């Protein structure tokens, strides 16, 4: 029998790296196929990682809380039946992985000093997947990179210690916390200003400062970007840089839609269904997209994809950041089904348990900030979709009806369109269709 290397899985088609959020097993546990071994945070969700092989978990190579772990990195070793678990545990698992595992700089679970638990807790609190060596670092015996645990790197940077001058006591010369502290105690640290400047040049992130050292004078706390926030930042930056947005706004009179919602909820109360205004707006956007199919598209570079059904992505504010679960086939689903699906998806989004197929895709998006009293806003398109509908609060406003001024409940809807795929006249037709469906809402229930 041979030891089995458990590698970081690709849990979605686009996943290149992830955060090992939590281990659900520990060394010595017997693992069966199908057992949940860990929780891994991917692009926008926390997903469970199931075991494929069977055996005894010999060692964990990547501690929980480690960020930026590349797909294919060895994260644990499994001893098959009949193998010596201790022998497998002592094997240097991370070195048998690809270069990607070295670049993600996981902390190997190797013999460590007595305060091993404190070091692990610190590494969970501030994981540093920074693989770039300090520019003045000399190569270590194991290669052209300085091999050090993330915690050791952080302590060395904060205290101005040159890792090239530190001898590592870990496996293959890996530098651990105790080595850095010993080096500090035994020798004077190099001049700090030079090291800080070098660190700033070598690493893209700013060095940690105390509030008194803030360049703007205001106290602050530094918070690392979560993997979700990194994805949001990257995708929305790409959208605003690459997608030529244009915006169209209409005022929608909501009185008829609110009356219909009241009647429907009275009839559905016995079934435990309570429709929200947002449920009706999802259906209205989906039906509008089917009436104006030239807006139900996505730009794909050399081609445009024209969709034959409306899958509406709905923006939800989850604790980890914005996410857009999808109501598939919203154009043909009943309002009660849309309501139940939306409630279930929103709950999963808030718990970080959405599966990739529940938030990847969608043919257009809806973003509603009306519950916060926002009157009107322009949303950023969610590529490769061609449009997003932003709706504000329904509120009493002076409104002209049949030539006479009245007070009506009015909502402003603003559509953001990708001009590469959707011309202005087509976007205007979609806004007109959406307005008509909201103001004549019986079209939503047939």
Residues with catalytic annotation?
419
Per-residue burial over 227-236, b if 16 or more Cβ lie within 10 Å, else e, is bbeebbeebe
Question: By C-alpha distance, which of 182, 138, 177, 184 is closest to 160?
Answer: 184
**CA-to-CA separations, 248 to 33, 388, 421, in angstroms, rounded:** 53, 11, 15
Which residues are CB-contacts of 346 (< 8 A; sequence separation ≥ 6)?
314, 316, 325
Question: Residues 77, 164, 140, CA angle at the centre, nearest 5°?
Answer: 45
* CA 444 – CA 438 distance, rounded (Å): 8
Q: What are residue 75's phi and psi, to 5 degrees? A: -110, -15
**CA-to-CA separations, 302 to 275, 388, 420, in angstroms, rounded:** 41, 22, 11
Q: Is the dihedral of CA 301, 305, 306, 309 positive or negative?
A: negative
Q: Are 275 and 268 in contact (CB under 8 A)?
A: yes
Q: Are 285 and 435 in contact (CB under 8 A)?
A: no
Q: What is the 3-state secondary structure (H, E, C) of 272-332?
A: CCCCCHHHHHHHHHHHHHHHCHHHCEEECCCCEEECCCCCEEECEEECCEEECCEECCCCC
Burial class (CB in 10 A: 0-12, 13-18, 19+), 368: buried
């Amino acid at each position: 029998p041979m030891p089995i290397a458990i590698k970081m899985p690709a849990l979605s088609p686009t996943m290149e790296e992830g955060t090992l959020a939590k281990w659900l097993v520990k060394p010595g546990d017997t693992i069966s196929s199908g057992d949940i071994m860990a929780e891994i945070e991917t692009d926008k969700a926390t997903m469970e990682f199931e075991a494929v092989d069977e055996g005894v978990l010999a060692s964990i190579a990547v501690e929980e809380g480690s960020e930026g772990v590349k797909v294919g990195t060895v994260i644990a070793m499994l001893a098959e039946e009949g193998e010596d678990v201790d022998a497998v545990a002592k094997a240097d698992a991370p070195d048998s992985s690809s270069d990607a595992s070295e670049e993600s700089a996981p902390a190997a679970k190797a013999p460590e000093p007595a305060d091993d638990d404190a070091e692990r807790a610190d590494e969970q609190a501030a994981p540093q997947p920074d693989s770039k060596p300090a520019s003045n670092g000399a190569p270590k015996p194991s290669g052209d990179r300085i091999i050090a645990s993330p915690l050791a790197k952080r302590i060395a940077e904060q205290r101005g210690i040159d890792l090239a001058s530190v001898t590592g006591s870990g496996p293959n010369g890996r530098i651990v916390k105790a080595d850095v502290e010993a080096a500090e105690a035994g020798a004077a640290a190099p001049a700090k200003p030079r090291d800080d400047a070098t660190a700033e040049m070598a690493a893209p992130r700013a060095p940690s400062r105390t509030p008194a050292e803030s360049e703007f004078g205001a106290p602050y706390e530094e918070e690392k970007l979560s993997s979700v926030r990194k994805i949001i930042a990257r995708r929305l930056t790409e959208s605003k840089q690459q997608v030529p947005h244009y915006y169209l706004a209409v005022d929608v009179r909501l009185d008829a839609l609110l009356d219909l919602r009241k009647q429907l909820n009275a009839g559905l109360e016995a079934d435990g269904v309570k429709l929200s205004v947002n449920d009706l707006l999802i259906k209205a956007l989906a039906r509008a997209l089917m009436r104006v199919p030239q807006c139900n598209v996505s730009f794909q570079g050399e081609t445009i994809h024209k969709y034959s059904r409306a899958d509406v992505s709905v923006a939800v504010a989850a604790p980890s950041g914005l996410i857009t679960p999808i109501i598939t086939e919203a154009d043909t689903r009943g309002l009660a089904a849309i309501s139940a699906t939306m409630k279930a998806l929103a709950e999963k989004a808030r718990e970080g348990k959405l599966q990739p197929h529940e938030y990847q895709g969608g043919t257009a998006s809806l973003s509603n900030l009306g519950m916060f009293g926002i009157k009107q806003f322009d949303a950023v398109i969610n590529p490769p979709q061609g449009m997003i509908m932003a709706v504000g609060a329904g509120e009493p406003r002076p409104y002209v009806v049949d030539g006479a001024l009245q007070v009506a409940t009015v909502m402003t809807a603003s559509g953001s369109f990708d001009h590469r795929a959707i011309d202005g006249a087509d976007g205007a037709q979609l806004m007109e269709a959406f307005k008509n469906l909201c103001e004549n809402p019986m079209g939503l229930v047939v």
